Chains A and B, each alone.
Chain A
């Protein structure tokens, strides 16, 4: 044993030296895997942070598909629950040596992340690596604008979503009402609502209601109010960055949101995303203002829903005095400006948001596309056809009425204030007027 060790002495010392030197080299010149798109010997290692809702599916499905084209880029996606995702992103993005090369940011987050200097200007810095056939103009304006801030494009749409109206046609027919079209107005909708609160099986108790959607205290509940508000031509802030929602239109929209509660199932005051989905899927709500992405689990998959694609309609929300209603929710891929693997990261962003990537994504994982060409192409599943049509309607509506959350580094703080205001009005703890007055004062302070 001892002899052996002595014999190995010089050799191991040399090994240590080499190892040490290579460590120093790594430190000094960046990791050896940093080159371009990687090689078989030295693959590039990309780290990505994304919402846990799809990160696992992407890791299992998207990464292997991506590797068919780019075999030497290893991608690891860390799933983070949505509620803590922004804070996690901010903590990492501001590090001296950030862990993540690709940040998947939700719709309102780009201004606050970009403000810290953590995001790469895609059009400018990646031009050299952009494929010739990568068609920026093919994107719908609304989803692409989700990662635009002060004239700079920081990302590309990965997983687009729109707040739309889901319709249970069976319940409309039972109530003897015409199935809604995209031309349905709020007045018509509200006039029909009482008839949609009905006893469908004739046992003497009401078992179906007109609506279920976000009513509870939640950051996303104001999106319903805002969609109504926008459909009447309202805007959250004016040209001087001052709150502009505390007016007649704002109050009217909030009153409509509160009124919806009258036609919603008992207990809806505490309903949000998951609860509203449950009652719609059980066939207890004739309509739901919901994110389009839930269509499959609400209309197609018999394990999760009692409804079928034939009876579930999807379209923009009712029309106000200016537009139909909608609200944008785009998850986009962005690149960390300090990343050592920008070329590889951009390769992934390009591939995933390209025509092929979008088609693959929507056909296998059900992710919604942002490109006009993808939306007009024929999807593999028939049920996607009306969904694509509704999405296109939604993008056009959102673009026309600027239907998205505030574009500002303090966007999430504002959203929280709006959530408080809408919750106060819905629970009856404040009148719509008083709630918006308080919110307006607070938002003005935040934006100062």
Chain B
């Protein structure tokens, strides 16, 4: 009797807690999204309405900047380049990085930890120092202004992150999973791809999203390693921001900024389902 009472009491408290958490989550996201809202609002303003005192909420919206910049052939083309490079780098990194992360967390190999730490440490090199020599390498291989050089350059900073994050995810998995798989005759590869990967889907996808985003907005390497053919959106944005003739056109910047956000958000929405599933359906039942 007493047990039931205290349980329902706790349930009620849990219910209140749940509502509070939802309210807190919404508040936090509103706070974080306000600058984004302001960016979108600004993108519909004429330039003379952007820097007014006091700030304007009511103005005649214009689609002009969007139309101008979408018609400027190079922006859609750079958007396509950005998609190719970001997803190319993201996917290669997630495969190579998660395998390495798995090796570090589970396969006891002598020397692997050392290599792993070395890979992680390679992130300590300031990217500015790498840009020029990487350009020289790319040029001697004839790869400048090709997508592949940018993809590979991005892999160098994504792989260490993926490796380390996935190592963390894999370490949290119960060891019995692969042990039973190995007894069933699976190789390391089999255990990894058939058992571990499906269960780690939320972690893998979150990390993939993170990789895509990092590659999506990278500017320095994009400027140094590409010039036209493989040039990406951040380069276009930097060009508009650094307009030495007319001053930064904030209508255009926020419009292009808004356009670049959309594909990533759509992608994130699409993979949401698997972000939440994964382990909840796999490990607990299995």
Query: Footprint of B on A, CB under 8 Å?
Result: 49, 51-54, 56, 76, 78-84, 87-88, 91, 95, 99, 207, 273-274, 277-279, 281-282, 284, 291, 293-294, 296-297, 302-306
Contacts and interface: CB of A to CB of B under 8 A. Distances in A.
A302 B48 contact: yes
Contact of B227 (A78, A284, A297, A302): A78
10 contacts: A52-B236, A78-B227, A81-B223, A81-B235, A81-B242, A84-B238, A273-B247, A274-B248, A277-B247, A304-B46
A306 B48 contact: yes
B271 interface: no
A54 B245 CA distance: 7
Contact of A53 (B47, B52, B74, B246): B246
Given A56-B74, A284-B53, A294-B247, A99 B224 contact: no
Nearest to B132: A91
Contacts of A293: 244-246
A52 B239 contact: yes
B243 interface: yes
B75 to A, nearest CB: 10
A31 B228 CA distance: 21
Given A53-B244, A281-B51, A282-B48, 18 more contacts: A52-B236, A52-B239, A52-B242, A53-B239, A53-B246, A76-B228, A79-B239, A80-B239, A81-B223, A81-B242, A84-B224, A99-B227, A274-B247, A282-B53, A293-B244, A293-B246, A297-B246, A304-B48
B135 interface: yes
B72 interface: yes
A45 to B, nearest CB: 13
A79 B223 CA distance: 10
Contact of A84 (B50, B72, B223): B223
Contacts of A99: 227
Contacts of B245: 53-54, 293-294
Contact of A281 (B48, B72, B240): B48
B139 interface: yes
Interface string B172-216: 000000000000000000000000000000000000000000000
B238 A297 contact: no
Interface of B: 46-48, 50-53, 64, 72, 74, 132, 135, 139, 223-224, 227-228, 235-236, 238-249
Nearest to B74: A56
B51 A279 contact: yes
Tell which of B47, B50, B64, B236 has the most Cβ of chain A within 10 Å: B47
Contacts of A52: 236, 238-240, 242-243
- Going nearest first, the 9 A-B pairs with the smallest beta carbon separation are A52-B239, A81-B238, A278-B51, A277-B247, A274-B248, A304-B47, A53-B245, A78-B227, A53-B244
Contacts of A79: 239
A88 B238 CA distance: 14
Contact of B242 (A53, A76, A305): A53
Contacts of B139: 95
B52 A282 contact: yes
B130 to A, nearest CB: 14
Contacts of A81: 223, 235, 238-239, 241-242
B244 A82 contact: yes
Nearest to A87: B224
B229 to A, nearest CB: 10
A52 B235 CA distance: 9
A207 B246 CA distance: 24
Contacts of B74: 56
A303 B247 contact: no
Contact of A278 (B227, B228, B241, B247): B247
A305 B47 CA distance: 8
A82 B135 CA distance: 19
A207 B53 contact: yes
B242 A304 contact: no
B246 A304 contact: yes
A99 B227 CA distance: 10
